[in-house]
Amino acid sequence: CANGSLGTEGPEAPETDSSGTGRMRKPLERNGSTQNHVVHLERRLGLFSGVALIVGTMIGSGIFVSPSGLLVRTGSVGVSFIIWLACGVLSLLGALAYAELGTMNTSSGAEWAYFMDAYGPAPAFLFSWVSTLVLKPSQMAIICLSFAQYAVEAFVTECDPPRGVVKMVALVAIVMILFVNCYSVNLGMAVQNVFTAAKLVAVVVVICGGAWKLMQGNTQHLSNAFNGPMPNVGAIATAFYTGLWAYDGWNNLNYVTEEIKNPSKNLPRSIIIGIPLVTLCYALINISYLAAMSPQEMIESEAVAVTFGNRILGALAWLMPLSVTISTFGSANGTLFAAGRLCFAASREGHLLDILSYVHVRRLTPAPGLIFHSLIASAMVLHGTIDSLIDFFSFTAWIFYGGAMLALIVMRYTKPNYPRPYKVPIIIPVVVLVISVYLVAAPIFETPRVEYLYALLFIFAGLIFYVPFVKLGMTPRFMNKVTLFLQLLLEVVPTSSMAM
């Protein structure tokens, strides 16, 4: 439905999945009803839209909020710049490996689909469990908090923006994005496109402003870049968390593989164009910030881009907070949009609550899944801060990104004859796997925090639900009643075996 391409057909027959794995998708016969209609998607995303989806998701809040955090964690401009570039290279390598996975198994749902093929249903379930309950909502919460911080900052000049107000504005943003996406798929896509274009304008403004300052000779903050204490191993890993947040979204196209035209060509090409483009933008933006302010000023600023705007844009300084709110709003919109697809991919195999895969009868939007994600994101907004949520998110996400690298390596041995239209040198997933093990393990050993333990416990707690409800297929009686009630309340119906 990336471009409003939901359609219906009927009657439904069981089909093999598009990966050519021969895995059968079961027709839904839950709640005693068999579908007569298939909600299906069309292949509409070409190379341009593929690049836009990657770039539009990756550029969100991170480049406007993370530079200060990265400086604090690394202690010097030079190390922080190296980490910015290394994050770009790591994202590119990870995404190239995902290109092999995504062209080998062309089902939507990214990690979920690859885990299913490589490891079977239990690990795939654990991914959808963590992703639906933690990863996707925390992405949403972080981006909306950043949105709110910049929106409020625009009106408060003398002091720090009041926390309560920031949280309220973040909640309002979640509700607005939820409304847009429940209202119509086309509206969601239009918001995405307009906001992506606007954020690119903001990026160009920052880069040009920085170039202008450099031409005036403001290069003093770029010299002696490595002056400062060297960070320890754990601090480097958490600095990576901060940087990698800004690059997160590099795998977003893999969630919608079923909608890409000629995926074996367009998926790798979009990745090869999109990620270096973002890396280049981020490197130039970092230099621009340093052309306008000192590292210390960057650390002290609550909103780096606003400080930058005040220094460079004069009477047009208001453009900066406006651009950042647009960028973050667009990224949050794309995040909720992708979350809906994950729900679909997982629930068509019976891995999530049935109701989460239902769509609105007239609007054909996956309202229950979207509402569910938004509720959890709102709770995270109320209880978390941007930095704590980013650490928690990155720690958990990199467990699964590493898992996907291992899935690629495992399948080279277990499924050697699968068609692989795009094949990466095996060293790439091995390197990314080793780095992801480091990223997950280093903070645990260097600065053990109880949150990391909770995250691990939470992942495995999924098994408590997996065994009775998915493996043994038990459904508590009251669930049917709850589902029916919600169906009537929200006017939603089950879709069939295809995602939205």
Contact residues toward ligand ARG (CB under 6 A) are 57-58, 60-62, 139, 143, 245-246, 248-249, 252, 331, 334-335
Classify residue 88 as exposed, middle or buried by CB count within 10 Å of its CB (0-12, 13-18, 19+).
buried
- How far apart CA 448 and CA 434 sit, in angstroms, is 20
Minimum Å gap between C-beta 278 and ligand ARG is 9
DSSP category for residue 45? B
Dihedrals phi, psi of 225, to nearest 5 degrees: -65, -25
Which residue's Cβ has the minimum distance to ligand ARG?
60
SS3 of residue 363 by DSSP = coil
Residue with smaller CB distance to ligand ARG, 57 or 374: 57
Of residues 240 and 466, the one with the C-beta less far from ligand ARG: 240
CA dist., res. 394 & res. 239, Å (int) = 11
Tell me whether residue 65 or residue 292 sits nearer to ligand ARG (CB atom): 65
Closest approach of Cβ 397 to ligand ARG, in Å? 9
* Least Cβ distance, residue 111 to ligand ARG (angstroms): 11
Q: Burial code of 25-54, b = ≥16 C-beta within 10 A, e = fewer?
A: bebbebeeeebeebbbbebbbebebbbbbb
Strands 492-493 and 359-360: antiparallel
Instruction: Give the number of residues written for the chain.
Output: 500
Backbone angles phi, psi at 233, to 5 degrees: -60, -40
Looking at the Cβ atoms of 49 and 496, the one nearer to ligand ARG is 49
Least distance in angstroms from the C-beta of 480 to ligand ARG: 33
Shortest Cβ 451–ligand ARG spacing (Å): 19
In whole angstroms, how close is the CB of 250 to ligand ARG at the nearest point? 8
Read off the amino acid at residue 281: C
Residue closer to ligand ARG by CB (options 332, 355) is: 332
Q: CB of residue 139 vs ligand ARG: minimum separation in angstroms? A: 4
Cα angle, residue 124 at apex, residues 119 and 129 outer, rounded to 5°:
155
237 versus 390: smaller Cβ distance to ligand ARG: 390
* CA gap 288, 155 in Å, rounded: 24
Report how far residue 282's alpha carbon sits from residue 248's, in angstroms, rounded to the nearest whole number. 13
- Output 35 or 335, the one with its CB closest to ligand ARG: 335
The three-state DSSP-derived secondary structure of 253-321 is HHHHHHHECCHHHHHHHHHHHHHHHHHHHHHHHHHHHHHHCCHHHHHHCCCHHHHHHHHHCHHHCCHHH
Q: Which is closer to ligand ARG, CB of 38 or CB of 205? A: 205
Q: Across the chain, how many H-helices and E-strands are there?
A: 18, 6
Instruction: Specify the residue, 65 or 470, whose C-beta has the smaller distance to ligand ARG.
Output: 65
Q: How far is the CB of 301 from ligand ARG (least distance, A)?
A: 17
**Nearest CB to ligand ARG, comparing residues 281 and 405:** 281
CA distance 423 to 103: 9
Least distance from C-beta 270 to ligand ARG, angstroms? 15
Q: Min. distance of Cβ 285 from ligand ARG in angstroms?
A: 12
